[in-house]
Chains A and B, each alone.
Chain A
Amino acid sequence: AQKVTQAQTEISVVEKEDVTLDCVYETRDTTYYLFWYKQPPSGELVFLIRRNSFDEQNEISGRYSWNFQKSTSSFNFTITASQVVDSAVYFCALTRNTGNQFYFGTGTSLTVIP
């Protein structure tokens, strides 16, 4: 069975602080894909990043960075120098190598205080 756990329900940080959102996944598949999405109050989930299970390279995109570690089944997301616009709910998700069914974590609500 596939499972994604985001243990942090809510996080508050002061603007310009760094923040890391944790994601732990479970799967017995050798090929799988991991994702992060951002959900602002409007409701739409916005795609941030996709990683396949064979690519453990960390990625940096501006203030965002992702750390994928298969040894600990984790795919953590760090925002550097957070801004008020980063306030949203962030979801980690996993999908298998067949079909497009996504398994989402319960999300982490991030509030950046000015």
Chain B
Amino acid sequence: KAGVTQTPRYLIKTRGQQVTLSCSPISGHRSVSWYQQTPGQGLQFLFEYFSETQRNKGNFPGRFSGRQFSNSRSEMNVSTLELGDSALYLCASSPPRDSGNTIYFGEGSWLTVV
């Protein structure tokens, strides 16, 4: 069974630009969540999507957005990039049970903003 796949793995963007990251969940998983990992703030929850609807949202500015498609694949977008957005962005998927699920992570997308 293929794991969670994230693309691209590495990218460099300039301040002010926008970026879109993609995530393909494990087959059969309908929940996809996104996390930002930085040395200073650790792992922080961005948002979770379930059946194309945003179910939970973390405490991030509106520049961070996401969506989920009917095949459960998800994208997140960051607009007007700031230097502080440099981070590892991790996507995780989980099976359809409502709560208490184990989430399975992809390898992440390393974003550097210069």
> Is B70 close to A, CB under 8 A?
no
CA distance A47 to B102 in the complex (A): 8
Q: Mark A32-51, 1 if CB is under 8 A from B, else 0.
A: 01010100001111110010
Interface size class of A (residues with CB under 8 A): 20 to 34
For B56, the chain A residues whose CB sits under 8 A away are 99-101
Pairwise interchain contact B42-A106, C-beta atoms closer than 8 A = yes
Knowing A44-B108, A101-B58, the reply to whether A52 touches B42 (Cβ < 8 A) is: no
CA distance A101 to B108 in the complex (A): 18
* Chain B residue nearest to A50 in the complex (CB): B102
Question: Distance (Å) between the CB of B68 and the closest chain A CB?
Answer: 13
Pairwise interchain contact B33-A100, C-beta atoms closer than 8 A = yes
> Is B25 close to A, CB under 8 A?
no
CA distance A25 to B99 in the complex (A): 18
Pairwise interchain contact A95-B42, C-beta atoms closer than 8 A = no
Pairwise interchain contact A43-B48, C-beta atoms closer than 8 A = no
Interface size class of B (residues with CB under 8 A): 20 to 34
Pairwise interchain contact B101-A100, C-beta atoms closer than 8 A = yes
CA distance A76 to B106 in the complex (A): 25
Pairwise interchain contact B99-A97, C-beta atoms closer than 8 A = yes
> Is B107 close to A, CB under 8 A?
yes
Pairwise interchain contact B48-A91, C-beta atoms closer than 8 A = no
Pairwise interchain contact B48-A100, C-beta atoms closer than 8 A = yes
Pairwise interchain contact B110-A99, C-beta atoms closer than 8 A = no
The residue in A91, A96, A99, A103 that gathers the most chain B C-beta atoms within 10 A of its C-beta is A99
> Is B94 close to A, CB under 8 A?
yes
Pairwise interchain contact B99-A100, C-beta atoms closer than 8 A = yes
CA distance A42 to B108 in the complex (A): 9
The residue in B92, B103, B105 that gathers the most chain A C-beta atoms within 10 A of its C-beta is B103
Knowing A97-B99, A101-B56, the reply to whether A45 touches B90 (Cβ < 8 A) is: yes
> Is B64 close to A, CB under 8 A?
no
CA distance A100 to B9 in the complex (A): 24
For B88, the chain A residues whose CB sits under 8 A away are 43
For A52, the chain B residues whose CB sits under 8 A away are 100
